[in-house]
């Protein structure tokens, strides 16, 4: 979920309604293609609560695996509200550690750190959710840690450490371009947000194809992703990671209205 308003989710909904939200293979994702939306809200110490817009098999499975209670028709102010506004019948679930009142008084402040958040428990919850979704989507159990290059539990723990404890970590260094600096301020829309770009490159590093025969020039020429790589070896990555501009649809709508008025 997002920490600030509904800009990203409302833009995503707008693009889908305009048949302009690119998914894999150049195929546009439509709102009717979405079966359900699952969002992680404020999580930390305490019992897990599922805020659900309506019950279905996904909600029941999550409740059982996470040993969580379900609060019907209690969706908090999160990104899923944009989806429900566009399609009220859509099943949405927000996974939190609170009921009708928020528990984290430090949310998104300087005190909202790893110690107060309890992120060791947080990554366990995400692992459980991953196993449930893998079974729902593929009908098969998720791969065991022994079958993966790195145990999934260790990978998630590493990533959470990078995001919550310190950005000076191996994964972030490998996914960054040489000399890149991480800027965390929320600002006006002028250039790509550094944290967003880094997240996209991290996903590309973890899921993409490494092209060792390409140098930086040929990598950029082919519109692929160039990054530092592990041990600063630098590498070109071909991936399916995609970006969508999180700018309010109001700017687009107002711009079109202004163009029509000038005509």
Give the pLDDT confidence of 33-55 residue by residue, as tens digits. 998 899 988 887 778 999 998 87
Range list of β-strands (E), 31-136? 36-40, 49-52, 69-72, 91-96
83 with 1, same domain? yes
Tell me the residue range of the domain where 178 lies: 166-262
pLDDT at 163 over 90: no
In a domain, 134, yes or no: no
What average pLDDT is seen over the chain? 81
Last residue of a domain, one of 84, 103, 122: 103
Distance CA 170, CA 159 (A): 10
In a domain, 173, yes or no: yes
Counting Cα atoms < 13 Å in the Cβ hemisphere of 39 gives: 24
CB 83 within 8 A of CB 92: yes
Residues 98-126, mean pLDDT to the nearest whole number: 77
In a domain, 178, yes or no: yes
Residues 83-103, mean pLDDT to the nearest whole number: 90
Last residue of a domain, one of 79, 103, 127: 103
Structure tokens at 58: 């996904």
In a domain, 254, yes or no: yes
Structure tokens at 4: 């600030």
In a domain, 136, yes or no: no
In a domain, 124, yes or no: no
pLDDT attached to residue 92: 92
20 with 98, same domain? yes
Last residue of a domain, one of 83, 103, 123: 103
pLDDT band at 144 (very low <50, low <70, confident <90, very high): low
User: Considering its fold, how many domains does the chain have in total?
Assistant: 2
């Amino acid at each position: 979920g997002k920490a600030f308003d509904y800009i990203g989710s409302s833009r995503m909904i707008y693009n889908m309604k305009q048949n302009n939200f690119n998914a894999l293979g150049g195929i546009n994702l439509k709102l009717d293609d979405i079966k359900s939306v699952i969002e992680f809200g404020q999580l930390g110490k305490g019992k897990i609560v599922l805020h659900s817009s309506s019950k279905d098999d996904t909600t029941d499975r999550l409740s059982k695996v996470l040993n969580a209670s379900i609060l019907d028709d209690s969706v908090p102010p999160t990104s899923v509200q944009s989806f429900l506004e566009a399609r009220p019948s859509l099943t949405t679930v927000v996974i939190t550690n609170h009921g009708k009142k928020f528990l984290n008084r430090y949310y998104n402040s300087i005190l909202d750190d790893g110690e107060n958040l309890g992120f060791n428990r947080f990554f366990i919850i995400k692992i459980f959710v991953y196993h449930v979704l893998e079974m729902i989507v593929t009908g098969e159990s998720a791969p065991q840690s022994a079958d993966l290059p790195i145990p999934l539990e260790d990978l998630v723990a590493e990533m959470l450490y990078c995001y919550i404890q310190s950005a000076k970590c191996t994964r972030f260094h490998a996914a960054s371009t040489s000399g890149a600096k991480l800027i965390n301020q929320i600002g006006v829309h002028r250039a790509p947000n550094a944290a967003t770009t880094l997240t996209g490159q991290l996903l590309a590093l973890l899921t993409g194809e490494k092209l060792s025969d390409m140098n930086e020039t040929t990598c950029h020429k082919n519109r692929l992703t160039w990054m530092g790589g592990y041990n600063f070896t630098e590498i070109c990555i071909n991936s399916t990671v995609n970006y969508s501009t999180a700018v309010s649809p109001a700017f687009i709508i107002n711009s079109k209205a202004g163009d029509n008025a000038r005509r």
